[in-house]
Chains A and B, each alone.
Chain A
Amino acid sequence: MNQNINSVESVVAQIQGLSSSADDVTHLHGLLKQSEELLQSESTRLAPFLAELDPSKHSLGYLYILEACTTAPKAKEQANELVLSIARFLNDCAAEQIHLAPDKFVSVCKRFKDQVMLLETPLRGVAPLLTAIRKLQSSSSEHLTSLHPDFLLLCLLAKCYKTGLCVLEHDIFEVDQPTDFFLYCYYGGMICIGQKRYRKALELLHNVVTAPMSTINAIAVEAYKKYILISLIHLGQFSTSLPKYASSVAQRNFKNFSQPYIELVTCYGNGKISELEAYVQANREKFEIDHNLGLVKQVVLSMYKQNIQRLTQTYLTLSLQDIANTVQLNSPKEAEMHVLQMIQNGEIYATINQKDGMVRFLEDPEQYKTCEMIEQIDSSIQRIMTLSKRLTALDEHMSCDSQYLAKAGRERQRFDFDDFDTTPQKFNI
């Protein structure tokens, strides 16, 4: 026992000694890997040693000891101080040293998240995990780490959606684990729904639904249900066929799992609010089990919007009374409220003349004549150019991939000598 404690002390001394330069740190890393079982065996008694180390200077050593410390199951009382110490470590640690042992870092963060959820204060975990993500990701902000979904989950539970949004703003180009990706997009979609940013939510959910998968998973099925609802709210329509880049597994099986939603779509398409409400009422429990009832109610509300928008395509001016009748609202006052809301959101362009209760539908006033429009288009062009470069790089990478070459070669037509056409032909693809 004492021998082990002495060895632990020697390890601590080594950590303190060898944490100054990059070469020392790699040397230390090797030493720490060797002393891993030792640390694991002493996990219950490592807590006082943590006090001797400085998280910002001795990050690597601190990380190893912390990780060994947290392997032991903790009681709820100790969870509080553990959360505090891990939070402090996450804030202070040095990113270069962390990069030498990323998986340990990730496991520490996961345990941190578990503790925070055990204490039922998800808000405490949000800020430390955000710094943790930034530090783990410091190579490039386009890399998806395993911490992203945990972070988004905590944001969802703590209801601080804005912090979650700031992480979602960055585009992701590299993914390590598919589960991470699915969870990230699913939680991200829910955060965007919470912030009413339906377009981004639709995009994220679309990513989950069309991601390559060899067998369907529960995350994708849930995402598909929400995808149907958001697409009805935001776009007013939904096509049950998935695009061709969705996996064939998804294309065949999703519909079986989301039957009530598909019927909701057909009901929505008919355009009658009363029927829609009746259907929702009838299938209430099914929606409640999926926790989607709030979204379904928003779908019903969006029906009015769709109907009003359909009116803009037929009429130039319309009275509020007529709007109320066509859209099956109760009174012109409600119609006015809806139209006003839509004008504010920028969904239609119209003017309401309150004297005689007429609404005049206008065209999009954008003339595309201003300098701001130039800047906007220019920035879009720049974005597309970078995206195009990436796509070409990916395309080349894919063309050299051995699996692709094997399969593409097999499908090549085989010519007989007679079939061979001597006249040269031009193939335009």
Chain B
Amino acid sequence: MASSSSSGLTFKLHPLVILNISDHYTRVKSQSQSQSPPSAVNGGETTSPPPRVFGCVIGVQSGRTVEIFNSFELLYYPSTNSLDRSFLEKKQELYKKVFPNFYILGWYSTGSEAEESDMHIHKALMDINESPIYVLLSPSINHAQKDLPVTIYESELHVIDGIPQLIFVRSSYTIETVEAERISVDHVAHLKPSDGGSAATQLAAHLTGIHSAIKMLNSRIRVLHHYLLAMQKGDIPCENSLLRQVSSLLRRLPAIESEKFQDDFLTEYNDTLLISYLAMLTNCSSSMNELVDKFSTAFEKHIIRGGRTAFF
């Protein structure tokens, strides 16, 4: 378990896999918790160790690119430290019918680190795929951590103490999304309150989301800007590939240049500004009205009022 892989394979992970694994884990955890309260009374343990879930990942391998599309769950027998083989083969047949291109690429599990016992399961899968992948999801919630808690391990034959052994090595991966995945991830990320809220809270939630997105964009552009300035001053050695990337990014905007677009865009922009101006004017006049009422109550001498007044 160390260093980085030297196999030269590029891995692409789809969000569906991550969602599946986390869903599997959450389900198992909540089911075990609902069953365990009577048994947790005895013993001094406050929390039992989180359960480990196992499953298979499937996808496509073309050339040097390995794309992991989907995953399914498997039962784990702790006694033999192996996965349910017959079920795996059955599932494989079913998936072959629907997705003829997909192969079993490896397996997944949850936990904070890859363990020695995992190598046993890994070797067992080697007859299906000569170099399986091990996807590890760390379910502990760490708010400070910015990256995804997902690691992909490969196995390599290393000579340690004269004995050739298989060890896990980390590989880097990128996230690849399909349109449908993007929509669902977006939906999960912006879970609305269950009663739908009033129009005001929904608008506020929507605008907060946009605000945080823009803030993040702003901070990242600032980092880039800072980096370019430092490069210009000569503090950092000039890296042409990065410069090319930045320039291609800049050339992506503006996306549309036509006259009609400008017209429509500016009209709509002005309309929105006018509406907010109107809203502010109304707000201001309402507070002014209240202020004037209070002032006249406080300082006017003769106030002719008949009967009961409005209660406020």
CB-CB < 8 A to A392: which residues of B? 287
Q: Please report the C-alpha to C-alpha distance between residue A102 and residue B262 in the assembled complex, in whole angstroms.
A: 57
B273 — which chain A residues lie within 8 A by C-beta? Answer: 374, 377-378, 381
Is the beta-carbon distance between A369 and B267 smaller than 8 angstroms?
A: yes
| Chain A window 342-381, contacts with chain B (Cβ cutoff 8 Å), 1 for yes, 0 for no | 0000000000000000000000000111110110011011
Contact across chains for B277 and A401 when beta carbons are under 8 A apart: no
Contact B297 A407 (CB under 8 A): yes
B311's partner among A381, A385, A403, A413 (CB-CB below 8 A) is A413
Spot the interface stretch: B53-61, B157-165, B205-213, B278-286.
Answer: B278-286
By a CB distance below 8 angstroms, the chain B residues around A407 are 297-298
Among residues of A, the one whose C-beta sits closest to the C-beta of B266 is: A369
Shortest B257–chain A CB gap in Å is 16
Q: How far is the CA of A72 from the CA of B23 in the complex (A)?
A: 95
- The docked-state distance in angstroms from the alpha carbon of A48 to that of B274 is 65
Question: Would you call A384 an interface residue if the criterion is a C-beta within 8 Å of the partner chain's C-beta atoms?
Answer: yes
Q: Which of A126-162 contact B (CB under 8 A)?
A: none
Interface assignment of B269: CB less than 8 Å from any CB of chain A: yes
Which B-chain residue is minimally distant from A367 (CB atoms)?
Answer: B267
Give the chain B neighbours of A429 by CB distance below 8 A: 312
Chain B interface residue count, CB cutoff 8 Å, equals: 33
- B274 contacts A388, CB within 8 Å? no
User: Does the CB pair B308–A398 fall under 8 Å?
Assistant: no
Residues of B within 8 A of A408 (CB): 294, 297-298
Is the beta-carbon distance between A245 and B270 smaller than 8 angstroms?
no
A377 partner, pick from B270, B287, B296, B308, beta carbons under 8 A: B270
Q: Is the CB of B269 within 8 A of A384?
A: no
* A301 located at the interface, meaning its Cβ lies under 8 Å from any Cβ of chain B in the complex: no
- Give complex CA distance A377, B273 in Å: 7
B309 at the A/B interface (Cβ < 8 Å)?
A: yes
Residues of B contacting A404 in the complex (Cβ-Cβ under 8 angstroms): 294-295, 297-298
Task: List, in ascending order, chain A residues with CB within 8 A of B267's CB.
Answer: 367-369
CA distance A413 to B305 in the complex (A): 13
Whether A413 contacts B291 in the complex (CB less than 8 A), given A387-B284, A404-B297, comes out as: no
Interface SS of B by simple majority: helix
Number of A-B contacts (CB under 8 A): 85
Partner of A391, one of B269, B288, B305: B288
- A residues 242-258 near B (Cβ < 8 Å) are 244-245, 247-248
B186 at the binding interface (Cβ < 8 Å): no
Inter-chain contacts of A413 with B (CB < 8 A):
308-309, 311
Query: Which residue of chain B is the closest to A407 with respect to CB atoms?
Result: B297
Report if B290 contacts A (CB, 8 A). Answer: yes
B299 touches A212 (CB 8 A): yes
Q: For the complex, is A395 an interface residue (Cβ under 8 Å from B)?
A: yes
Decide yes or no whether A214 CB sits under 8 A from chain B. Answer: yes
Closest to A249 in B: B301
**Alpha-carbon distance between A391 and B269 when the two chains are bound, in angstroms:** 28
Partner of B270 from the list A373, A391, A403 (CB cut-off 8 Å) is A373
B146 within 8 A of partner (CB): no
Contacts of A417 in B (CB 8 A): none
A411 is an interface residue with CB less than 8 A from chain B: yes
Query: Which residue of chain B has its CB nearest to the CB of A408?
Result: B297
Identify the closest chain B residue to A373 (Cβ). B270
**Most central of A214, A369, A380, A388 by chain B CB within 10 Å:** A369
CA distance A398 to B281 in the complex (A): 21
B284 touches A384 (CB 8 A): yes
CA distance A427 to B312 in the complex (A): 8
10 chain-A/chain-B pairs, Cβ below 8 angstroms: A244-B292, A368-B271, A374-B270, A374-B273, A388-B280, A391-B288, A395-B294, A403-B299, A404-B295, A404-B298
For the complex of A and B, list the 9 residue pairs with the smallest distance between their C-beta atoms, beginning with the closest: A404-B298, A377-B273, A245-B292, A368-B270, A384-B280, A403-B298, A391-B287, A369-B266, A398-B294
Q: Which residues of B contact A (CB under 8 A)?
A: 263, 266-267, 269-271, 273-274, 276-277, 280-281, 283-284, 287-288, 290-292, 294-302, 305, 308-309, 311-312
Interface residues of chain A, those whose CB is within 8 Å of chain B, are: 212, 214, 244-245, 247-248, 367-371, 373-374, 377-378, 380-381, 384-385, 387-388, 391-392, 394-395, 398-399, 401, 403-404, 407-408, 411-413, 427, 429
Q: A374-B266, A381-B273, A404-B295 are in contact. List 15 more A-B contacts (CB 8 A).
A: A247-B300, A248-B301, A367-B267, A368-B267, A369-B267, A374-B273, A377-B273, A381-B276, A384-B284, A398-B291, A398-B294, A398-B295, A412-B311, A413-B311, A427-B312
